[in-house]
Amino acid sequence: ENRALRQELLLKNSDILLLGQFKQENARLRELLGSPLRQDEHKMVTQVISTGSDPYSDQVVIDKGSDNGVYEGQPVISDKGVVGQVVAVAKVTSRVLLICDASHALPIQVLRNDIRVIAAGSGCADDLQLEHLPNNTDIRVGDVLVTSGLGGRFPEG
């Protein structure tokens, strides 16, 4: 009986180790599911090399251009979500209009209930405005907003 209990303990310990691995894998998969980046799109890493000097326009210049496959209208996405859209492309640099720019807007949806609305730049960094919302719209603090894919400029999610 003692031998059987030791054998069972070894099996349980290996199950616990396996469970730990599954927990880590599950956390990584959940992170990927919540990621704004889609796996079916070509991605490249860029660096911001300058910020715009115009106080009425929120733009940055990145270190990739047409030589790297960047194209006008291309969405720019970080690990936190949509950053902006390429508005001008040179050989080795590109200009990006940030989503916080007052002239920028994008279609979004609330993941919890699939409500679709337009998010517009407010001219303030880290701040978007949800436009034309009826008073009874069910959007709550903490809701996750993602691009809806409508309009074709930004991929869904």
Whether residue 130 lies inside any domain: the answer is yes
In the prediction, which pLDDT does 92 show?
A: 95
Structural domain that includes position 130: 105-147
pTM of the model: 0.67
Q: Are 69 and 44 in contact (CB under 8 A)?
A: yes
Residue 35, pLDDT > 60, answer: no
Tell me the CATH number at 54: 2.40.10.340
Which stretches of the chain are DSSP H helices? Answer: 2-34
d(CA 65, CA 157): 25
pLDDT for 37? 47
On whether both 52 and 90 belong to a single domain, the answer is yes
If asked whether residues 54 and 84 sit together in one domain, one would say yes
Q: Verify that 72 and 91 share a domain, yes or no.
A: yes
CA distances from 7 to 2, 12, 17 (A): 9, 9, 16
**Could you give phi then psi for residue 146, rounded to 5 degrees?**
-130, 160
Q: Tally the domains of the chain.
A: 3
Q: Is 140 found in the same domain as 109?
A: yes
Same domain, residue pair 94 and 115: no
Residue 155, domain member (yes or no): no
